[in-house]
Structure 1
């Protein structure tokens, strides 16, 4: 009988499925390359500095710990609250969808197992939705 693979989301199974930090950095590089060139992402790209070096490192470090690997973000940058970190930018449904769209395309380019690709995108929707929900609570209604 063949042992079943570890379940994604337990211990470092997701981190390993992503190819460790090297695989995560490839994902992040593809993500930002797509953000640079995909028209629906123009608005979210403008929220970043021209030089994406620090953004790339922060996202890769965050994903490392978030996927069960080394807590690189905390080691380099300190603790983070994803919704509060993004509170200074106007993020609504369109921005969330653009971010998820970039990430979906980047994930599709990776040599991940199909099951992990589906799992990862589903899991990334959770913080994306949370950011929008926090924005809705803290931003007063704008007149139409």
Structure 2
């Protein structure tokens, strides 16, 4: 069994890059999440997700170096994150995990983390 901090060692930069790219390929066409992302910043959003995940799971701390502490709740407060948005985000991330073809052990840990964080970031009832 691997720990969160060992995931980077198992999937490397490339695994996180595949995951972030697979997620953000779906976003523009999504009726719930698409409007939350300015089209001109999709590449930036993909890079920020990749860098955050790399650092969170044992890799280089580029996200912290570039943006400081993640403060995820604060950074997501401007967006209406209700149960519907949470479920859609998880649906797209589940598809991205399937597409990224990560080792099962890493995928399972990441899936659990995403479910926890998506619930943690809820900021709107309903």
TM-score (norm 2): 0.89
1:48 aligns with: 37
Residues 55, 61 of structure 2: 8 Å contact kept: yes
Q: Work out which of the two has the higher radius of gyration on C-alpha atoms and give 1 or 2.
A: 1
Shift of 1:72: 1.1
1:7 aligns with: 2
Which of 1, 21, 26 is matched with 1:29 structurally?
A: 21
Residues 81, 121 of structure 2: 8 Å contact kept: yes
Alpha-carbon distance in 2 for matches of 1:8, 1:63? 14
1:123 is paired with a residue of what secondary structure?
helix
2:12 aligns with: 20
CA RMSD in angstroms comes to 1.8
In structure 1, the gaps of 5 or more residues are 1-5
Greater shift, 90-99 or 77-86, is seen at 77-86
Aligned residues: 125
Larger relative contact order (CA 8 Å, sep ≥ 6): 2
